[in-house]
């Protein structure tokens, strides 16, 4: 039987170390909504989302009360809209109308975000894909809860450089359209390589075409819990370090598993996966960078950071896989800058640069995340940064992503405030040298060879 110290440990994690379930995300397939008539399509989309998710928030809150565990976000992901709107939309403005429908549905069911305003163009773009991508700046500027993602590459197909170039300019335009709000539109826009179909985390969540009609994916969190556990083992060897991270990840994941099972039962929707990511928030102590410091680094970004992060990421997976049979999504440690106070401190101390962050993304999920850069950064430079990150994902057979925010009107040394879970970020310097000729080449980078690995 459970004893008092175990109960106290669990409650201490929740009350003092920010243990929470970060998100319950309901994936909803919109494939059966496809219609050549735009008003009819919009109505079908709204009805399907509302009917599927009207009690998602209520059930989430009930589970939260029953077990005393906070469930921070309730979200929805839908089939990539470029596939759904292809036959009805003739212009970017048509696609933006669907974004408004999604936004209204998300508001009416009370979720925090809705993801899936997406296009999957890892080998090439259809006309619908191109129109959707061109509509992103308008869609993100005019809606509040809609999130967008574009998958521009994969290990199997290579990288669609035409899409990468286009995304460089789309990110810039999105920043300009939301310049009055710190260019926040870009915080809702992710560029992926090897995007997973079942990711519950925003802004990159969408409901893949290989998924069931409706599915529940759960994102757990708990950097604060891992940090606290590491506080007691200073000076111990790597074996103890790994064991401690693994055990903690196990406990955190089990909570996610419980919430997943209950939510699935109460909503009558099958459980999909648990995403084991350590997702930081701006709250003090809820930081992945602080875990790295606890391992023995002065700041995140110091030499040794990539190794420490690789260890952390791997142990989180090892512990989590033992706790749940269905692990998926991104599963690793997130290293966003604006959402992690430890990362912000490292940038402000001059310890963490864009280049070091790029190296860190080689060993962890997800990528260059929530990084504010000067508003006058060239479109081709943004495309070049995207191409680099996509290449890391393509060659290493992992998901990588880019969520850059060129903050219009601001430069290095200033900072931008997004508020809430998105936090604030210092503007980071970008390498000033150009890559125009490389990025402006047409076509795609071929898929890498899958042999002769060195």
Partner 1 sequence: MQRAIITVVGKDTIGIIAGVCTYLAENHINILDISQTIVQGYFNMMMIVDVTTLDKPFGQVADELATLGQEKIGVQIKCQKEEIFNLMHRI
Three-state DSSP class for residue 122:
coil
Among 46, 67, 326, 424, binds partner 1 (CB under 8 A): 67
Q: Is 149 in the site for partner 1 (CB under 8 A)?
A: no
Distance CA 118, CA 206 (A): 7
Among 33, 53, 69, 372, binds partner 1 (CB under 8 A): 69
Q: What percentage of the chain's residues is helix, strand, coil (to nearest 5)?
A: 45, 20, 35
DSSP per-residue codes, 390-422: HHHHHHHTS-EEEEEEEETT--TT-EEE--GGG
Nearer to partner 1, 255 or 407 (CB): 255
Site string for partner 1, 162-201 (x = CB under 8 A): ----------------------------------------
Q: Any residues with CB less than 8 A from the CB of 39 and at least 6 apart, and which?
A: none
Nearest distance, CB of residue 259 and partner 1, angstroms: 9
Nearest distance, CB of residue 110 and partner 1, angstroms: 18
Selected range binding partner 1 among 29-37, 61-69, 342-350, 359-367, rule: CB under 8 A? 61-69
Distance CA 55, CA 388 (A): 42
Binding positions for partner 1, 318-337, rule CB under 8 A: 322
Nearer to partner 1, 9 or 37 (CB): 9
Among 104, 181, 254, 356, binds partner 1 (CB under 8 A): 254
Three-state DSSP class for residue 369:
strand
Q: Is 68 in the site for partner 1 (CB under 8 A)?
A: yes
By the 8 A CB rule, do 194 and 120 touch? no
Q: Is 7 in the site for partner 1 (CB under 8 A)?
A: yes
Q: Is 257 in the site for partner 1 (CB under 8 A)?
A: yes
User: Based on the number of CB atoms within 10 Å of its own CB, is 126 exposed (0-12), middle (13-18) or buried (19 or more)?
Assistant: middle
Q: Is 66 in the site for partner 1 (CB under 8 A)?
A: yes
Judged by CB under 8 A, how many residues of this single chain contact partner 1? 22
Q: Is 40 in the site for partner 1 (CB under 8 A)?
A: no
Q: Which of 370, 240, 352, 367 is nearest to 305 (CA)?
A: 352
By the 8 A CB rule, do 165 and 439 touch? yes
Site string for partner 1, 82-101 (x = CB under 8 A): --------------------
Nearer to partner 1, 128 or 260 (CB): 260
* End-to-end CA gap in the chain: 51
Q: Any residues with CB less than 8 A from the CB of 65 and at least 6 apart, and which?
A: none
Among 35, 43, 62, 176, binds partner 1 (CB under 8 A): 62
Selected range binding partner 1 among 8-16, 35-43, 366-374, 432-440, rule: CB under 8 A? 8-16
Nearest distance, CB of residue 162 and partner 1, angstroms: 48
Q: Any residues with CB less than 8 A from the CB of 261 and at least 6 apart, and which?
A: 271
Q: Which of 423, 393, 375, 327 is nearest to 175 (CA)?
A: 375
Q: Is 6 in the site for partner 1 (CB under 8 A)?
A: yes
Element (H, E) at 373: strand 367-374
Among 65, 210, 232, 454, binds partner 1 (CB under 8 A): 65
Distance CA 161, CA 144 (A): 29
By the 8 A CB rule, do 293 and 341 touch? no
Q: Is 440 in the site for partner 1 (CB under 8 A)?
A: no
Nearest distance, CB of residue 6 and partner 1, angstroms: 5
CA-only gyration radius of the chain, Å: 21
Among 34, 233, 242, 258, binds partner 1 (CB under 8 A): 258
Distance CA 403, CA 189 (A): 6
Nearest distance, CB of residue 19 and partner 1, angstroms: 10
Nearer to partner 1, 4 or 449 (CB): 4
Q: Is 1 in the site for partner 1 (CB under 8 A)?
A: yes
Nearest distance, CB of residue 277 and partner 1, angstroms: 19
Site string for partner 1, 98-137 (x = CB under 8 A): ----------------------------------------
By the 8 A CB rule, do 103 and 145 touch? yes
Per-residue DSSP letter, 18 = -
What is the contact surface with partner 1 in residues (CB under 8 A)?
Answer: 1-4, 6-11, 62, 65-69, 251, 254-255, 257-258, 322
């Amino acid at each position: 039987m459970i004893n008092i110290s175990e109960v106290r440990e669990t409650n201490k994690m929740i009350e003092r170390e920010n243990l929470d379930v970060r998100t319950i995300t309901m994936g909803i397939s919109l494939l059966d909504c496809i219609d050549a008539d735009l008003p009819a399509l919009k109505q079908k989309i709204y009805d399907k989302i509302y009917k599927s998710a009207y009690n998602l928030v209520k059930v989430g809150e009930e589970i939260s009360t029953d077990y005393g565990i906070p469930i921070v976000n309730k979200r929805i992901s839908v089939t990539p809209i470029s596939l759904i709107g292809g036959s009805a939309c003739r212009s970017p403005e048509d696609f933006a109308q669907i974004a408004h429908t999604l936004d209204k549905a998300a508001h009416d069911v009370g979720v925090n975000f809705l993801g899936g305003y997406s296009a999957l163009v890892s080998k090439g773009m259809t006309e619908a894909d191109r129109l959707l991508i061109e509509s992103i700046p308008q869609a993100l500027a005019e809606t509040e809860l809609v999130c967008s993602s574009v998958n521009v590459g994969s290990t199997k197909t290579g990288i669609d450089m035409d899409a990468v170039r286009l995304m460089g300019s789309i990110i810039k335009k999105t920043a300009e359209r939301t310049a009055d709000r710190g260019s926040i539109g870009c915080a809702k826009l992710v560029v992926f390589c090897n995007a997973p179909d079942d990711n519950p985390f925003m802004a990159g969540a969408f409901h893949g075409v290989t998924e069931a009609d409706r599915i529940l994916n759960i994102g757990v969190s708990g950097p604060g819990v891992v940090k606290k556990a590491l506080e007691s083992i200073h000076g111990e060897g790597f074996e103890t370090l790994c064991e401690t991270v693994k055990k903690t990840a196990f406990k955190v994941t089990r909570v996610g598993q419980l919430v997943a099972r209950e939510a699935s039962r109460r909503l009558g929707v099958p459980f999909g996966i648990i995403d084991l990511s350590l997702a930081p928030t701006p709250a003090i102590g809820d930081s992945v960078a602080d875990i790295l410091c606890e391992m023995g680094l002065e700041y995140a970004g110091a030499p040794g950071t990539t190794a420490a992060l690789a260890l952390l990421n791997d142990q989180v997976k090892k512990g989590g896989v033992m706790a749940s049979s269905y692990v998926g999504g991104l599963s690793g440690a997130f290293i966003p800058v604006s959402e992690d106070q430890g990362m912000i401190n490292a940038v402000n101390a001059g310890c963490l640069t864009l280049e070091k962050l790029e190296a860190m993304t080689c060993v962890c999920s997800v990528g260059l995340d929530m990084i504010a850069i000067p508003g006058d950064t060239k479109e081709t430079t943004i495309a070049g940064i995207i191409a680099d990150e996509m290449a890391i994902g393509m060659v290493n057979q992992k998901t990588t992503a880019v969520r850059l925010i060129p903050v219009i009107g601001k430069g290095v040394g200033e900072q931008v405030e997004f508020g809430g879970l998105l936090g604030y970020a210092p503007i980071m310097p970008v390498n000033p040298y150009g890559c125009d000729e490389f990025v402006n080449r047409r076509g795609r980078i071929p898929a890498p060879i899958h042999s002769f690995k060195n």
